[in-house]
Structure formats: structure tokens, C-alpha cells
Amino acid sequence: MDVVTAPVLFNRKETESVRRLGLAYDALSRGARAARFVMLAFEDPSRHLIPRPFSISDVWTRDDGTVVTEFLYKPIGRVTGLMCGLREGDGLLVGGLLGNGFPFPTDGRRPVLMAGGIGNAPFAYQVRELAAGPEATDPSRIVLLLAGRSAADVWIQEDARAAGITVVEVTDDGSRGEAGLVTDALLRRLEDLGPIEAYGCGPEPMLRAVSDLALEHDFPCWLSVEERMACGYGVCNACVVEQRCDDTERGEGWFLKSCVEGPVFDAREIHV
Ligand SMILES: Cc1cc2nc3c(=O)[nH]c(=O)nc-3n(C[C@H](O)[C@H](O)[C@H](O)COP(=O)(O)OP(=O)(O)OC[C@H]3O[C@@H](n4cnc5c(N)ncnc54)[C@H](O)[C@@H]3O)c2cc1C
Ligand code: FES
């Protein structure tokens, strides 16, 4: 794994529950794709032992030529808590880029991006990729369904709307956009959207619901899973997901490592 020390450019509060970290880290020359990730660690090993995985959230180039790679993170424990204290000029160890990214839609299918909570993270870059690539002529074909528990958990909508993307906000408590589940919001539109290809990132129950919907209505669907990881490059087996098996001779009980074979999987390939 390629590990470098990347200087912090900014580290600011995005909403009550989420922060945005910008590093001088060139994800472009390392093959940036939405949902690919890095392992982040502090240089001082006494602060924590195991690096933590984070999806690249956005990548752009400053006027002075510096490539800025952004991460959205939610402080929930030891390392994300320490990350809140990072200041401009501090260094962070970055291992990557790792994993596979979301593929482009096939056969002109309309891309539907479904984000839950901190699962918003990879979609800013996916929107950028699609709007510069297959959907360049009409970015409003890209449908971004942003879901969270409440308004503070939904936060990339302004940039996406400004880029001409069709954005639907959904919150459990109805404090922003439609009330309910992201899968209900999709179901209400499914017929009008025509052939779609779906992309999901979020908590496990949401991914399971998205996967069930895709299998039931038979549209292609890619899920970015967030299993706990230790090494990030395929040696510790901490991150396995169970493979679906239609082959009775082979039998059940086969696993895939989400750090190297994922984190993006075809919904037909795994049990969420
Ligand atoms: C491929 C990938 C991409 C990710 N991208 C992002 C991202 O862009 N932004 C972001 O904020 N987070 C992301 N995560 C999750 C992130 O890695 C965890 O939030 C982080 O490891 C927590 O570290 P911590 O030391 O702060 O918490 P810890 O002290 O390690 O854990 C705090 C609590 O959170 C639970 N926890 C930790 N990790 C997970 C997990 N993966 N799933 C469920 N519960 C967990 C622990 O069991 C514990 O209860 C990603 C995870 C993966 C695998
Ligand atoms: S995190 Fe070690 S094998 Fe995937």
C-alpha cells in the first residue's frame, strides 16, 4: 500500500453532526473513483493502533495546482474524535487509494444515487464524475436521493442542485424534505424514472432495503458497504461480507473481502 503523509488544508464543521476534512493528497493520480477509500492514521502511533477507512468525498484542483482530496466524517469514536482536533498544516498518514469504485451506468440507464447518513460521503464525487462523463448533456437525469435521520444528516444538496442534479431529500423525522425511508421515495418515482441503475451507500438496514428493492424490481444496483476494517489491503479478514450463492454444489458459506473485492458490490453478489 502506498502510504504518504498528507498536510491538512482545512477541517471544518459542515453540520451539527458532520465535519469536512481537506488534505493535500493527490487522489487523481492514484485513480480516484467515487467510493474508493483510504486508510487514515495519525503519525504518532501512541494515539491509536489501527488505521480507519474513509471514502474520498470530493477531489478538485486548486489554482496553485494542489490536488485537494476531501473527506466527510462523523465523530463517533476514538479516531474520528481525534480528527476533530486537526489543524491546517498538521500531517495525517494516508494509505491508498484502495478498493473499487462505483461503475458508470450501463445501456443509458438513469443513475439513481441513494445515500443514508454518513453514506452521503462518496456521492459528491460520483455526481462530479457523472456530470462530466455519461450525463454531461443533461445532469438533471442524475437523481440523488439523500436520506438521514434529520436535517443535520443531509448535507450535499446545495452543491448538487447548483450542478443541475435532481435532488430529493428524505428524513426519518420529516425535518427536511419528504418524511420516511429512502426506498419509499424511490418506489414513489420508480415508474416515472424509466430504466435505472442504482447506487447505495449508508447503514446496513438501508442497504438491505435498497438491495431487496433492486432484486424485486430487477434493476442493476451497486452497494458500497462499510464493514469494519483493520489492514485495508486483504490480509486480516476483518472486513468480510457473505457471498450469495445460487450454485448448490458449491454451497453457502463463502465470503468476500470488502477492502479488496469491494467496498462496491453488485447487490446480486452479496448478502447485506
Ligand atoms: C470503505 C469505508 C468507507 C468509509 N467512509 C467513511 C466516511 O467517508 N466518513 C465516515 O465518517 N466514516 C466512514 N467510514 C466509517 C469509518 O471508518 C468509521 O466511522 C471509523 O472507523 C470510526 O473510527 P473511530 O475510531 O472514530 O470509532 P471507534 O472508536 O473505532 O468506534 C466507535 C463506535 O462505532 C462503531 N463503528 C466503528 N466503525 C464502524 C463501521 N464501519 N460500521 C459500524 N459501526 C462502526 C464501533 O463499533 C463503536 O461502537 C467508512 C468505512 C468503510 C469501511
Ligand atoms: S481489512 Fe484486512 S482483509 Fe480487509
Task: Set out the domains of the chain in order of their start, with CATH numbers.
Answer: 3-98 (2.40.30.10), 102-224 (3.40.50.80), 225-272 (2.10.240.10)
The pTM of this model reads 0.95
Residue 40, CA distances (Å) to 53, 71, 80, 98 in order? 6, 11, 10, 12
Alpha-carbon distance 138 to 135, whole Å? 6
Could you list the pLDDT tens digit for every one of the 272 residues in the chain?
A: 899 999 999 999 988 889 999 999 999 999 999 999 999 999 988 887 899 999 999 999 999 999 999 999 999 999 999 999 999 999 999 999 999 999 999 988 999 999 998 888 999 999 999 999 999 999 999 999 999 888 877 877 788 888 899 999 999 998 888 999 999 999 999 999 999 999 999 999 999 999 999 999 999 999 999 999 999 999 999 999 999 877 667 777 899 999 999 999 999 999 99
Sequence-distant (≥ 6) Cβ neighbours of residue 113 within 8 angstroms = 123, 126, 127, 142, 143, 144, 145, 198, 199
Which amino acid is present at 94? Answer: V
Which amino acid is present at 24? Answer: A
Q: Is 217 in the pocket of ligand 1 (CB under 6 A)?
A: no
Burial class (CB in 10 A: 0-12, 13-18, 19+), 51: buried
Q: Is 259 in the pocket of ligand 2 (CB under 6 A)?
A: yes
10 Å Cβ neighbour count for 201?
30
Alpha-carbon distance 141 to 22, whole Å? 29
Q: Is 132 in the pocket of ligand 2 (CB under 6 A)?
A: no
Ligand nearest to the CA of 101: 1
Ligand 1 mutation pick, 20, 80, 206, max ligand atoms within 8 A of CB: 80
- Among protein residues, the one with the nearest Cα to ligand 1's atom 7 is 54
Q: Residues 6, 86: contact at Cβ < 8 Å?
A: no
Q: Which three cell numbers stand for residue 160?
A: 448538487
Sequence-distant (≥ 6) Cβ neighbours of residue 85 within 8 angstroms = none
CA of 108 to the centre of ligand 1 (A): 34
